Amino acid sequence: MGIRIVDIPEGGAIAASLALEKKLIPFIGSGFTAYCKSKRGYCPTVEQLREISRNLLIKFNDYLLEDLNEMDTYPLRKFFDIAPRSEVKTFFLDYFTEIELEQYKMDFLNVIDWPRVYTFNIDNAIETHGNFQALLPYTNYKNYVISRRPVYKLYGDAYHEALFDDCEGVSFRNGYVKNLTAKKNADFVESIGKDFASYNIIYIGTRITQKHIREIFQQSKPMQNLHRIIVRNTVPTPEEEEGLLAVGINLIILVEDFEPFYTTFVDCYQKLAANRASSESA
């Protein structure tokens, strides 16, 4: 079976209905905070982060100017290898803290009554703009005393990295697959697997190309008729569609611009919630 493609009004209504029933879990990627103001100026995209990494490497090793091709593979991890600890801390604080979200993104976080959120992002935007408690993959999450809605930070946390010298590190420093599949993260993987099996999923701001996410999904044995939604601004190529099918995607909400999706989703949710409250009080 192929992937169904819908527009914003239809997709927003589907997502809102699932969210109102608390049957929808979001996975949030770098697109959610890309270009948002940060302590230094902006939160970078994946592509911008690669360029920043290359420039930082040149700053600490001038001879690398002679062979930029040497930096094409994992330039950021090479920066971590050679830069002083103080510079690494500054890097995390400058680019990934004090994030300023647009109001429509804050509405998405706070108006929708999410059971929990997963994020691939290492910035602190979600927990500083909503009633969320960050759960980090450095410890057994079952040891947390959870007083707010949990946000599972699958790849770690920049502020924690900058604050503690003994931090085990965000995963783009140690390798995505190695970090998330480590024994210390077994609780995170177990939680994802359970949600894949029982909940509808919506991916926002991410291409979900991660190999480990595909493997967790394929092992989860989900119930029938669950939605696996992704919000995209392009129709997938046959190769991209094959990759999306591998992680169970069965619905694409196609947008020209992402802001109208957020506003439509929240608006639909509020209208459905108001109608339910009116019918229950009648």
Same domain for 167 and 70? no
* Structure confidence at residue 73 (pLDDT): 59
Alpha-carbon distances, residue 213 vs 122, 188, 255 (angstroms)? 17, 12, 24
Same domain for 21 and 109? yes
DSSP structure string for 48-92 = HHHHHHHHHHHHH-GGGGG-GGGGSSSHHHHHHHHS-HHHHHHHH
Residue closest to 108 by CA, chosen among 96, 99, 117: 117
* Structure confidence at residue 208 (pLDDT): 81
Asked whether residue 41 is assigned to any structural domain, the reply reads: no
The answer for 57, left when phi > 0, alpha when psi is -120 to 50, beta otherwise, is alpha
Asked whether residue 40 is assigned to any structural domain, the reply reads: no
Residue with tokens 């920049």: 158
Report the alpha-carbon distance of residue 181 to residue 195 in Å, rounded. 17
Give the number of other CB atoms < 10 A from CB of residue 16: 22
Same domain for 146 and 82? no
Residue 133 contacts residue 118 (beta carbons within 8 Å): no
Taking 50 as the pLDDT cut, the residues of the chain under it are none
Residue closest to 114 by CA, chosen among 39, 195, 51, 41: 195
Beta bridge partners of 26: 202
User: What's 34's DSSP letter?
Assistant: T
CATH code assigned at 233: 3.40.50.1220
Residue closest to 116 by CA, chosen among 158, 156, 146: 146
Same domain for 258 and 225? yes
Its domain, for residue 233, covers 4-35+103-281
* Structure confidence at residue 67 (pLDDT): 56
Report the alpha-carbon distance of residue 232 to residue 110 in Å, rounded. 22
Tokens representing 96 are: 């990934």
Same domain for 54 and 29? no
Q: In whole numbers, what is the pLDDT of the chain averaged over residues? A: 86
* Structure confidence at residue 29 (pLDDT): 92
